[in-house]
Amino acid sequence: MPRYYVTIQVDFSGHIEADNQEDAEQKAWSSWGDTMDNDLTYDGVNDIEVALDDAAYCEEHEEYDCAYCEEEDE
């Protein structure tokens, strides 16, 4: 079975009380989470990227670290 490297970009948003924009940015680093008691909460998936991890995958034999190809190399 093929293996894929997946990257997901998730958005968190909400309101933060701060003295200025820089202070709000600093507070944002620790104000996010998956529960409603956090200032910033899950807002949605922004992007998903999927790439075949082809460094170890042999498409010809549809397996990883292909023993068939290793035998051919010897």
Work out the pLDDT band at 2, boundaries 50, 70, 90: confident
State how far the Cα of 31 lies from the Cα of 12, in Å rounded to an integer: 10
State how far the Cα of 72 lies from the Cα of 50, in Å rounded to an integer: 30
Q: Regarding predicted confidence, which is higher, 43 or 35?
A: 43
Segment holding 33, helix H or strand E: strand 32-33
DSSP 8-state class, residue 30: T
- 6-29: average pLDDT: 95
pTM of the model: 0.57
In this predicted structure, the answer to whether residue 37 has a pLDDT above a threshold of 80 is yes
Please tell me the predicted confidence (pLDDT) of residue 21.
97
Please tell me the predicted confidence (pLDDT) of residue 36.
76
